Structure 1
């Protein structure tokens, strides 16, 4: 629909930034015209009543136009290539790794010299954990940002990041970085000016003269870190005000009900896009809109805001995808892919945190019924979006699936969760895990779990016991956990160190800036002598590294594993084995994962129920042919093992 005033604003911005008749300018103009009405509608939904709505919208259009003009020709060319592919990020040929640059190799310059390591493994997508300047001692792992445009000096400089990105691009690798939208460090420029009494910047935050409004908010807002950061407001003596601090008292929540905050943060989003970022990870999007009388989480206008950002990114940097880091219940997570007219038009990616936690559930219990009870929700993910799938990340492991899913599997929810927490913290007789509870709520006893993949799978205890059988079993657990997340659909994301079996790193206890947060036990400092053992056949490192290599290679080899929303769960003929089908047209891959330390038997009937029954199957993992047996004959799956069975006849 033609909107004269809107198009005049666009014309003014184009003239101001001298957008002309070059091909890329015409493409930008087409995208802007195509999306302008939607951008305006979403903006008005948020800010129509705000006194600064009109001038800030004008500035938003100028911000998009300026970002386009600043975008390098190489990035515009990449945008066009990605557009031709369509949903480029759904590919089975992309495998990622998440890492802290300083913990991994010291700094960005060193990282540029490590690209061969990733190539050898098969990883071609890197998530670099927060890089931008944050204060020592109160950085929250880099998520308390003091300068959104300056690299923390301990990593290097912005020029160093640009060099790494260019090397990665030349090597055919993708880059993901974080944008911390919800809050800033109290030492960030806007916060410092607010502290000095500048009313303009005080309006960038939720700041109040007394406890009246904070107390109203507190009535319905939960504590995120009840052990270390109780309450959601902090008194600021310099300006005699209370400021909202949902996470830690040094992280001030940004007030997105002010359109100036939106435009400022959009400019930073597009600044990151123009550094060559392929996927931007939006930290804590569930919290970005606040209203009294609510939990201030997952509110409708948070989704409106994300949709607006997505539309703007599509216009100015269409090659960049967005990941919403919303670690919420299964029903809630689907909202972040978009609903109604915005299905698949909000976040391109979300973490499949539910499936990750369900795999840990299955590993502890040897029972897949809770996992199966959750799948009807997870299968609602719309086509054109994808999961980041993983077994371990920098964060804790929460048990965020619903009670009814546990009850449907025949367990008592409270006792079941208690068992899992006790099992992974090593407080259950017979537990092989070495982990710790994180953020225990003294009122509810709710808690999450810390520990590396290897330690939670039993490798730490096995090495301490010097027991080769236990070591082999632990390695098998690691591999089956990774395999389930690699082949279920989405972009698999390794956490650094897991590819060679790092156990818990307790050195964090001697660092006052980290000792209060036991999640640092699963954020190891890489010992490159240990990693070099991956080249020595027979070592623990080699056994895990080579298995990971093989899984990545297989995934790249099999197009059916691209995320075409082509996942069908199979009938549970054995409650200890999870099975699903990945299918594109006549190409079928039956995947089975044994989560129990016993040989399991799966009735061949399971592969006969989905379409034309196959006669012959080839197991890509075990390199073995099968003739499909009659009913009451069985596929045999070894303890903590898996099969990838392609129908060949």
Structure 2
């Protein structure tokens, strides 16, 4: 429906920023007109009752126009190229790696010199962990930002980031960085002004004169870090007020019920877009909207806010995708892709944290039934959106899948989770894992798991015991875990160090800024002498790197692995094996993964159930051809191994 006043506001912004009749200006105008009424509707859903709603909406439109005006021609050209591909990020040709710049190679300028390493591996997408300024000693790994526009000195400068982005663009690589949306550092400019008593900036946060509202909020808000940061509010003596601090006392939660906060943060997002980010990772989106009497997580208006953000981003930088870092229950995660009229129009990506945890479940138990019980929820992901798939990331491993999924596998949920925690912390007889429990809740005994991929798969213990057979088994587990996450659908994201089998790094214990947080054990400092062992035939580094390299290469060659909502789970007739089909037109890839330390026998009926039964299958991983046998004849899969079978 035509809205005269909205159209006039858009025209006013175009005139103010001298946006004319050039081709890219006309494209921007078309997108703004097409999205304008939706932007206005979503904005009013959030802010219509706010006394400054009209003024801030006008400023929002101006913010979009200003960001377009300064967007570089090269980035506008990239937007067009991505638009011509459709959903460019669904491609099977993209493989990512997540890393801390300082831990990996020291600085952004050094990272530019490492691009040949990624090219050798096959990685063409980098997620750089938080880069922007955060105070030493209370940075939360960079997630307590004190300046959203200044690169932390230890990484380099903004010019270094721009130079890296240009190098990556020339090399055909993609770049993602973090946007810490929920909170700021208490040393950030707005927080400092609020602390000094400025009422305008105090409204940017949840600040109260006494404990009345904090007590009401805390009746229903769970503790995020019960061990190290209990409670959700912190007293600020400088202004004699209480401020909401959901994560740590030095991270002040932003009050998005104030439209000025949304416009300020949108301006920062578009600043990142104009640096050339291909994907922006929105940290902790589940927490961005707060209401008393709720858990203040996953609230409906959090989704409204994300949808508004997506519409605005599409207007200025349509080539930039958004990743919502919502680590929530399987049913809850689907809402972050959007629902109803906004299906696949909220976040383009979400982490498949459920599948990641289910793979660790299967590895510990040798039983895939819990994994299979969860898939009906995960398959609800809409076409046009995608997963980030991974076996390990900078964070802990949570066991957040639902109890009924565990019960369907005939396990007791409490005992099952206790077994997994004990197994991966090395407290179960026969466990090969060397991990640790993170954020143990003394009341509920809930906890998450820390440790590198290699250490949790047994490599650390095997090397310590100088046990060659155990080393071989651990390496097989590592590659099995990576293969399953690579081929299940989505954009696979390696965590740095995993490509060469880094075990736990305990150097964090001697650093007072880190020693309280055992997640730093799986955030290693890279020793490039160790990484150079990828050239040493037979070394664990060479074996893991080569296998990872082969998986990436295979995935790029097999177009049916693109995330086209083309995943079908198979009946493997063996509880130790997970099996699924990836199909694109007449191309079919049957994938089977044996999570047991025993030979698995998979009835050939498993590949005959879905459509036209294949006669010949070629196993791309094991490089052998199979004639599909009769029922009650078997595909044989070695312990902790897998088959990637293309129908011929």
- TM-score, normalised via structure 1 length: 1.00
SS at match of 1:635: strand
User: What is residue 486 of structure 1 aligned with on the other side?
Assistant: 486
| Matching of residues 142-221 of structure 1 within 5 Å | 142-221=142-221
Report the equivalent of 1:84.
84
Show the 5 A alignment for 1:187-586. Answer: 187-586=187-586
Q: Post-superposition shift, 1:535?
A: 1.1
Q: Which residue of 2 aligns with 1:597?
A: 597
1:633 is the counterpart of 2:633: yes
Alignment correspondent of 1:106 = 106
Displacement of 1:140: 0.1
**Distance in 1 (alpha carbons) for counterparts of 2:182 and 2:412:** 36
C-alpha distance in 1 between matches for 2:432 and 2:123: 30
SS of the equivalent of 1:427 reads coil
Deviations 1:262-286 (A, max 9, x none): 0000000000000000000000000
Deviations 1:578-602 (A, max 9, x none): 0000001111000000000110000
Give the CA deviation at 1:101: 0.1
2 CA distance for matches of 1:201 and 1:263? 14
SS in 2 for 1:336: helix
In structure 1, distance between residues paired with 2:82 and 2:395:
31
Q: Distance in 2 between matches of 1:330 and 1:37?
A: 32
Post-superposition offset of 1:537: 1.0
For 1:467 and 1:47, the matched residues in 2 are separated by: 63
Secondary structure in 1 matching 2:337: coil
Q: Report how far residue 46 of structure 1 moved.
A: 0.1
Please report how far the alpha carbon of residue 306 of structure 1 lies from its aligned counterpart in structure 2 after TM superposition.
Answer: 0.1
Distance 1:80 1:382 in 2: 24
Please give the alpha-carbon distance, in whole angstroms, between the structure 2 residues aligned to 1:536 and 1:32. Answer: 55
> Do the aligned partners of 2:67 and 2:271 also contact (CA within 8 Å) in 1?
yes
Name stretches of at least 5 consecutive residues in structure 2 with no aligned partner: none
Offset at 1:147? 0.1
Q: Could you list the per-position Cα deviations for residues 530-583 of structure 1 after superposition, in whole angstroms to 9, with x for gaps in the alignment?
A: 000011111000000000000000000000000001000001300000000000
Distance in 2 between residues matched to 1:181 and 1:605, nearest whole Å: 49
Q: Distance in 2 between matches of 1:120 and 1:616?
A: 33
Deviations 1:274-309 (A, max 9, x none): 000000000000000000000000000000000000
Q: CA RMSD in A?
A: 0.3
**SS of the residue 1:602 aligns to:** strand
CA distance in 2, matches of 1:544, 1:384: 33
> May I ask how many residue pairs the two structures share in their alignment?
648
Deviation at 1:87, TM superposition (A): 0.3
Counterpart Cα distance in 2 of 1:270 and 1:639: 49
Answer whether contact 2:594 2:641 (CA < 8 A) is retained.
yes
Question: For 1:397 and 1:336, how far apart are their aligned partners in 2?
Answer: 20
Corresponding residue of 1:608: 608
The SS at the match of 1:126 is: strand
SS at match of 2:306: helix
Q: Deviations over 1:229-251 (max 9, x none)?
A: 00000000000000000000000
Partner of residue 69, structure 1: 69
Asked if 1:6 corresponds to 2:6, the answer is yes
In structure 1, stretches of 5+ residues that fail to align are: none
Alignment partners' CA distance in 2, 1:105 and 1:587: 41
Specify the alignment match of 1:623 in structure 2: 623
**Inter-partner Cα distance in structure 1 for 2:78 and 2:643:** 37
In 2, the alpha carbon distance for the partners of 1:461 and 1:324 equals 35
Q: 2-side partners of 1:596 and 1:275: how far apart?
A: 46
Question: In the aligned structure 2, how far is the partner of 1:637 from the partner of 1:313?
Answer: 47
- For residue 27 of structure 1, give the secondary structure of its aligned residue in structure 2: helix
Separation of aligned partners in 2, 1:69 and 1:363: 52
Question: Is the 8 Å Cα contact of residues 590 and 645 (structure 2) preserved in structure 1?
Answer: yes
Deviation per residue, 1:300-319 (Å, 9 max, x gap): 00000000000000000001
The residue aligned with 1:645 is: 645
Q: TM-score, normalised by structure 2?
A: 1.00
SS at match of 2:89: helix
SS at match of 2:502: coil
> Which residue matches 2:57?
57
Q: Distance in 2 between matches of 1:299 and 1:125?
A: 32
CA contact under 8 A between 2:67 and 2:270: conserved in structure 1? yes
Query: Which SS does the other structure have where 1:32 is aligned?
Result: helix
Contact 2:572 2:603 in 1 (8 A): no
Instruction: Give me the whole-angstrom Cα distance separating, in 1, the residues matched to 2:583 and 2:156.
Output: 45
> Secondary structure of the residue that 1:556 maps to in structure 2?
helix
Question: How far apart, in 2, do the equivalents of 1:572 and 1:446 lie?
Answer: 32
